[in-house]
Structure 1
């Protein structure tokens, strides 16, 4: 009989190694060193070798060492693995949303997720054990890649939990990170082999190899984004499904957004195109899916694709060039942003000589150094970014980039955001921040001051003519007209020429500054670079607090109770209002006769004028956005949290904790029918 202590130790080792794998590959964290991990794995291998009767197909040791298969076998999918429609046009995307909503005949909640540029795969578990993995193939039949799927470290060989679903077939994407490709290409060239071009090509080739030991070395990964056959899941929508499979140990596709309607979805597309997040893997678009499974069933499928999903793709363009140097810029909120200065290269009909490196963590993740050969990508309207270092082109030892510890402009010691990735200069009087703030203040989203361009701001700050927002309102035509500077002329000779503002330009600028005095408090709040406060947030705040005095008297809790504001924005707004710097800014603007109030519409006898309402539970006659918009239209304030200041709680079915709290505070509770009676009275 096998020694019980040895069997217990084997079980302990397997549990611990699985836990460490999940931490490292799924949660991107680690509790042990590589050496400590290797020792645990070696101990498990030794015990299993000495006691073969303890062998188990789901042991972490079984991820490597399988014998190569003779050839790939084709296996039918239990549920067809269909492709999805795609579009490159925002107009076609809108038409799809309109068509789908019309076909269903009711509101649709959409989910948006990354379209990861990898290889589609279906992975099947039975009684919690990984039994089969297939490629998409033709949708009906796929290649059996189980031998290679078992090498994917973030894909569990056995599901987490005591009672896993009896059958679970997940669909997802096998992919490789840019950092792992850089390391792989370095090994390729050291071995005298050709480097791989991109992550998708190497993933597609690797997943179909016959020898799993090669797949082990290439560190493939997996994200789950869909479902095939299943027995035992409780999820009724996509978000709940991703949460459920995540708890079973399968990594769900990350950063999924829930969007209440197609209008929000289209706004999300615009934001994504302009502000694509920094990701360690390649994406070639975004995917929109109907969230609720019952709505998906009613929409059904076409011959080759479901009606409930579409991909919005963008063209990706890449080029390889030399990274000459790295510099850092100080932004209007003090964030220190590293910039890659490149040997100019043509990408998508534009010459690119600079690319963002985002933050210090991104530099470390890429291991990018001055003098490196890098891959630069431009996708859609997204600004160029460095996606990968061609480490195999690094012919000599290059020193790592040292991120500054002090502001390059004012020498103040830099600080990192609590729990964040950004490093900032905390000095609000920093000249670099001042320049960026003034540029934004005069921009169209700011106070819209015609003629206040980047170059002129630089000059006015440099010469000490302007050192605050209020200084702009003291500028005179005579003072500006005589301002001149040397500028390099465009063209072959590149001759330096003297440029002067001149009287006409000075008159236009002073007129633009004068016009901005009356823009109102919301525009001021959105223009003075308060963290997290843009035009939309400023409008929401000033609807509730239309004068500066009222706003300054509001507590953090008061601000956070405003619909769509939340704790982080409220804290940032309150801290700015009561900081020495913020108090000085508002005092100077007030002295400069800048309007610091808003003219709110006269609601007269509007039924909800001055009332604060909270909505909770499932409603029959309104969706959540409709009723909140109606409350604001009728003069009320739609809040997200219950407090003593709440006038009414509109409670639908399954109201939950908000209803309990409202009753304890003595807040008036209305049914939908009572709410309709109130607004019709």
Structure 2
């Protein structure tokens, strides 16, 4: 659904939208700046921020200290000592097209009251996609280095920054002020980043998503010796606190940095007027993939420093500088083929196989095509030249076809009708009980399909399931291909199979230590927590959090198993589900239908259907009557609905599972369907037979300081992850909510807390820091 134009928002709508956007921006700021784990592309972030700023411009009374116009970066983490910047490290406003760049130049001319014909000189430089840092030199010696943090307080990473070759311990030459904070960007060259990732992957170690995350993660290492091994570089381009002037223009300042032994980007250049700025922008955009490091735009700065001083700042940004951002990165290449990936639940996902093309310094060979409907909508065919887009770290996607009208174009792509596995099982489009057809096509072979078996096994050994040391994706595939693994129980059988372990040593080249470690890793999981066991089964729609909730609700494996088997014998019919999902049809309405048993012959043949419903089922509100009329259409249909309500609903046990807070009817039905299948039950029983113990779930405590209390966590938590915080709170008997209301007892606020903090203050909710929360719950 398209967003309402900011110009059309009412004050109430604007306030709600503004609060939502600021909360979302605060979350993404914390992910990007504090955790080095962005979830969205820069382009998507910029779109969120731009809308927030537009709302704030129209409704300035909404401005608060955590508004989009006031916030820079995210708070520093507790891992390093805080550093207060002598001069704040502020961010830049953005321009997204040539017109906005021209407006920037015009605003400067108007502010300085310059004659229109006199061109303004600027320095234009690449906007490096790295991590901002500030270097404090006193009497020419480096005394402290810090990250930007929230712009006012950063992290002391002096020891780590000293390991970078581009950062001198002592400034060269002469003429430097007694005190100067030199600022710039820490980054990783693309070739060095690729080499690091390749070596790390070969060694089974952590890899990074992109050079920016790599640079940030490397600079924030607790051990500077680790940072020293990372290929980090530094470009200097600005300054903060300074004891005395050292230049009259931006260009002179960059030349001074060069003389003092600092690296300055050689693509920084002095130009005049809008035309000069846009020429630099076009040149850098064209050369972007060949620079050897990532950039996401061009920064324009007024060259004269006295003019910079006169122009000053607006809130969080200088008037004298702006970042002209590049659009989402695009390229054209040839679609060489379409491969199908089969997921754990049988979903068939098409992936484009492309002739390799560089997009923003990254070689792209594959792109998502989403599903069969998407291929048909875009009419993508093998052999086509296609437009490829890569925005930030988002998986590349195909936007469309360049040469759709070319002679001799290939035939339309025919999506498979059967699974890619040797069984060639038919694919089906699922239809929900309410009649909505899914775009996903699934193999109906379930665990008879070898592709799904492999994916189930991968899921079973994954970190949040059984987390078996030494048994990763490569081993699962290899052992499956040898016929050793077909179900989870086979993993535990393998650890006691002398012949196969001997074959590993002789045929597969495993060393004695490797085999011993594999066996130890498997045997260590013969005792498993109930929630991990449930999650490891790989039941569709049963995620990690639902597994935890189920484990706590039923406490023991026998109790949970018995409930699932009982539920499998009482699955509601599709007709009952359609009834339950109809507009305004609640459980009370269904109960009224089931209790009524209307006569088969229509007692009121002349009455309209709405009146018949009111007479047959007195007490139903008009919305419910309208919902039933839509389903029934006549008296015969109404009698059938009553029969379905009475005879085809879920069993009491299935209803109990669905009623567990955090589970619901979809997950409950998925469990029932899973345990209804004999082969699934056999697989589970075989697994249980190989285990020593499934540990009972810990019952939430009722005698703690937070038992029965409602808690909300917000901001970038530093002492624990969000999942850890929630699990700990729930184990102590607290209820964790995602929103603040007058019923909330505590708000635990980390750095970057936004609208939830404001809501807590409005409702008089007690706000705690992470340390105060830990003190309350006893650590």
> What TM-score results when the alignment is normalised by the length of structure 1?
0.47
Which protein, 1 or 2, shows the higher relative CO under an 8 Å CA cutoff with sep ≥ 6?
Answer: 2
TM-score scaled by length of structure 2? 0.42
The structure with more radius of gyration: 2
